[in-house]
Every structure is written in structure tokens, then in C-alpha cells.
Chains A and B, each alone.
Chain A
Amino acid sequence: MIIAIPVNENKAEPSVCVSFGRAPWFYFRNTETATSQVLANPAAIAEGGAGVKAAQFVIDHHADALITVRGGENAAEVLLAAEVQIYKAQGGGALENLAALAEGKLERLQSFHAGFHNKQ
């Protein structure tokens, strides 16, 4: 399976980014080939609709699961329609969260925020 995680840095052991749509990078882990890659998030600089665009990016890379600190309602709608399973990150690094997911220690993310655009 392919697991996506929004991260702060483009490196082998990046930290999980608190933002989903505006994360600068996405970390993709393919558990079957045991390979990983970090790709720039095209939604990071979007004027609006960053959540939808980032969710599109995740499903275009055939992710089966997403580990994130939080996410917006629109992003969740795209991801859930594409049958991506969304897990709540436990903070810290991407690799720790992958390990926690493998051990069944991550919970599903159940609540999604209404978005931050135009909020002051």
C-alpha cells in the first residue's frame, strides 16, 4: 500500500507538518516496494482551495492511506470519496508515524475543520 504524509522537509526522515493543504512537501511510502519519496506539494502556494488540490495530489499518487495532524472538510470529502483511509498523526517524525500505523496504534481521523480561507 501507499501511505502519504504531509511533512516539513525534503529529507529521508522528515517531521510531520501540522498543516495538510499548505504542507511544503508530501512523503510517500510504498510498503510493497519498501521505497519512499518526498515530493513538493503543488497546493502549498495555492491562493485558495489548497485542501482540495493537496487531496487531489495525494489521490493522483495512488495513496491508500494518509497520516495527518488535521484536515479540512473539502479535503476529507475528496479523500474519502477516493477511499483513502485517513489516520491521525501522533506528532514527531514521519517514520515514527509509519511504524505506529504498522503496529495498529494510529486512530482514524474523525473530525475535519471547516477551512481557514478568509478567516481572520
Chain B
Amino acid sequence: MKVAVLSGKGGTGKTFVSVNLAAAAQNATYIDCDVEEPNGSLFLKPENVTVTTVHTLLPAFDAGRCNGCRKCVDFCRFNALAFIKGKPKVFPEICHSCGGCVLVCPAGAVSEHKRPVGRVERGMHGRVSVVSGVLNLGEASAVPVIRAALAEGLTGEGHTIIDCPPGSGCPVLESVSASDACLLVAEPTAFGLHNLQMVVEMVRLLSKPCGIVINKMEAPYEPLEEYCRQSGIPVLSRIPYGETLARLNAAAQIACEQDPGSRLLFDALLQRMEAEMKP
């Protein structure tokens, strides 16, 4: 099963849940799609790491050939091109590398050049294959690196755990698109509930089967419990808010490899995912 782990806000426990699920499943692939701040490998500490550079294509304009017809600028639906003093100019962080400007140019004045935007790292943690996308500092779009990390990691056997970026924007949609099911991590607070509702709205658009994990649980937060009942999305696990987990996590240890209670919790979560989030 390919499971995307997501939440509306950062710090809810996506990486904690993802890393522990992959470690509990053992024969699994962990893909870190939170490419702006990938931290799953801090816990999984992969060995024998190989690195691949990720490029995007950016148009370049041959001023000698350009006849100033403006077709490329008018064609660009992302508004990445401007037409200034008779010549096109590209804004790299808006360009989506669709190649449309090359196709519509009647003068053959547009060519595409590779530009490095990040890297994909791949290594092993025991039997867990660890794939991390890493976006270069200052890059505006995470999507090309997420796409490359998914292409690298989605070929594995066993379970694939996709650790998504926070929020519900383009990078999250890209990360979720290839999954069979979505695991939504929520905190039992008013803020946590609000953010859960945002991601539920998003995954409903994609018609993916879902389950909820309530993390950092002390007493039940009744509005969240009520929302889960109303929405019909099963709560697959409730992870207690406690010192043992906090200490293990802060020491970059994988809880289910160190603490038998955590191991039981994540084994049970895996079983419920397999039973209740069938595509």
C-alpha cells in the first residue's frame, strides 16, 4: 500500500508517524516529500547513500532569431514570461517548465536549458529503503524535487510511506497524487481540528480512502472526536502525549525500535491501515 501521511500544519507528527510506520513495517520504503525541510533521515540514518541531482528546464531566448511576435508570452498560462521592449523575458521561479514557449515559437528562438533545483538521496535503514527529496535553498517550487523523489521511491516492494509537506497547497497535492490512501495526523486542539478540516477537504477532492491518527493525545478533545464521528473517517490510532516518546524523538531515535509499547502501537496502526484504508 502507498500511504501519504499529511497534516494541515507543521509539527503535528507527520515525520514521527511516517518514520515509525516504515520501521515497523520493515520491508518498506520511506519517501520524504517535505523537501523544504526533510528530516526523516535524521531518524532513519540511512547507510550507503547515493545522490541524484534534480533539474528543471528553463527557456532561453535567442535574441538574434526572436522576431518579437510575442506568441510565447501570450501562450504562457503561468505568466512566467513578460514582453519588454519587444523581447521576451522569463521569471524562473514562476516558470513550470512546460515547454510550451518552445513549441509555439515560429522562429525557433526558444531553447530549454537544465537548471539544478535540488537532489534525491537514497539509502538503507535495515530493510527500509529511505528516499529523501532535498530542495536547494532559495528555490520557489518544491514540485520538481517531490516528483523526482516519488519516481525514485515508488518502485519498491512492500509498503511505501510518503511523508508529505505541511498544508494543503501544490507540494502536498503532488505528494499525495500517487498514493493509494491518506493518513491524516491531527492534534487534539482547536488549531489541530481546524487544520485537519482543511486537509480532509483536500483529500475528498482526490477521492482517496483516509484514516486519522490523533497524536499528542491527553484527554479527548470533544470537538475533534465529534468531527471524526460526523465525517465518517476512522480514527486508526491515538498516540499518547508522554515523556518516553518525547525523549526518544528529541534524541532522534525511532520510538518503535526502542520502546516495546510504541512498537505495539505502530504494529496495530499498520494492521488497521491495511484493513480499513483499502483503495
Counting contact residues on chain A (CB < 8 A from B), the size range is 10 to 19
Assuming the contacts A49-B91, A74-B94, A81-B85, asked whether A118 and B169 have C-beta atoms less than 8 A apart, the reply is yes
Please provide the chain A residues from 60 to 84 with a CB less than 8 Å away from any CB of chain B in the complex. 60, 74, 77-78, 81-82
Given A74-B91, A74-B94: A52 in contact with B170 (beta carbons within 8 A): no
Residue among B76, B79, B85, B140 with most chain A CB within 10 A? B79
Residues in B neighbouring A56, C-beta threshold 8 A: 73, 79, 82-83
The reply to whether A53 and B85 contact each other, CB–CB distance below 8 Å, is no
Residues of A within 8 A of B167 (CB): 120
Kindly list chain B residues whose C-beta atoms are within 8 Å of the C-beta of A32: none
Q: What is the size category of the interface that chain B forms with chain A?
A: 10 to 19
Chain B residues 123-173 with CB under 8 Å of chain A are 140, 167, 169-170
CB distance from B65 to the nearest CB of A (A): 21
Query: A84 to nearest B CB, angstroms?
Result: 10
Residues of A within 8 A of B89 (CB): 78, 81
Contacts of B170 in A (CB 8 A): 118
Q: Is there contact, CB below 8 Å, between A49 and B94?
A: yes
Q: Is A59 an interface residue (CB 8 A)?
A: yes
Q: Please give, as numbers and ranges, the residues of chain A lying within 8 Å of B82 by CB-CB distance.
A: 52, 55-56, 78, 81
A91 to chain B minimum Cβ distance, whole angstroms, is 28
Give the docked Cα–Cα distance between A120 and B171 (Å): 13
B80 on interface, CB distance cutoff 8 Å? yes
- Interface stretch (choices A4-12, A40-48, A95-103, A104-112): A40-48
- The docked-state distance in angstroms from the alpha carbon of A52 to that of B81 is 8
Assuming the A-B contacts A74-B91, A81-B89, are A52 and B84 also in contact, with contact meaning beta carbons closer than 8 angstroms in the complex? Answer: no
Q: Once bound together, how far apart are the Cα atoms of A118 and B135, in whole Å? A: 16
User: What are some 8 contacts across the A-B interface (CB < 8 A)?
Assistant: A48-B78, A48-B94, A49-B91, A56-B79, A56-B82, A81-B82, A81-B89, A120-B169
State the B residues within 8 Å of A (CB).
Answer: 73, 76-85, 89, 91, 94, 140, 167, 169-170
